[in-house]
Structure 1
Amino acid sequence: MNLHPASSLAAHSAIERWLYPLENLSLECDGMSRVIAALFNRASIQYTVFMGMLVDTSLPATDPNAKVLHCWITLSDGAIVDYRARMWFGADAPHGVFHPSEFSRFKYSKPVPQGNFSLPINLLSAMAETDLSAFPNPPIEAQFQYESVSKVQQRFTMH
């Protein structure tokens, strides 16, 4: 589904505000991606989890600190959801919901789709040390923009 840039920006902002409380969870990139995937599943937000390399292009390619194996989520419009790049690369790394072009220094490379990356919410709650079943639903501007076309059609045929 292609979004108008203004509505896309509003949806990204809404998703980022919604996910903000998760920011301080003691999870690495794979755990955080699993938590966000479970919440996206519950809200019918379309996404793909990827595992690949996150590369800091400002460092020489031979520098062992220039790249790290990493997990992230990509939304249907190409925006990335990543709350753990800073764990590896510090405050200059991408964070939140953004388009890759906003951070030309960092490249998400060799992405491999991970299929169903979600786990049961009770297991994720134990991993995150917080009750994720009580996590609120996203604001409507986030939920509507990324839900599947069939969900939108179903909503309108019910009324």
Structure 2
Amino acid sequence: MSLYLTRMPLLAGANPFVTLYEDDQPTAYASVWRVDWSTHGSGNVVILWTPGQLRIVGDDVRLAEWIEEQFVRNFPEARALPSWPTAKVERASVSVRWSSARAGDITISLDGVLDARPFAVDDFPLRGVSHGLSMQILPCSKATVSVGGVAVPGSPQVSWDGGRPASSAVVTVHEAWSV
């Protein structure tokens, strides 16, 4: 008989994200958070990396700082970028819908859902600590990021491995983190 490991819940919500590429070089990485519940409150956050710049926009500064420090900067997608500059949180209204977000002058949209499948792992290391993660993932074929009405160049990278699609643009729902 195996023992069930009870974990402390940290966060429940959704985290659509996208890395855009042009000529195999990243042009933007956006991480969108709809936090329905967390140990640091609820709210919406958009984190946008472009070469040489990082923007963190949230309707709750404390929550936005925690999301960037605890989660986003430690994700493989962020760690693969050429840099991760220091940034101050911009307090602004953030609107998050299922596959899109608007935060100040930033607009993010994902489309062209290729698949829907559950994902769960009980050892996702962040900052040297094992975390539990479960969610439904929906890889997408299309995504756009614009700042001030100007589209960031690039598109998501999509691949098919054994008939299963993978993409650098993913909508997640029912996302839950624990320690």
Give TM-score scaled by structure 1 length.
Answer: 0.33
Relative to its length, the structure with more strand (as a share) is 2
The structure showing larger relative contact order (alpha-carbon pairs under 8 Å, at least 6 residues apart) is 1
Relative to its length, the structure with more helix (as a share) is 1
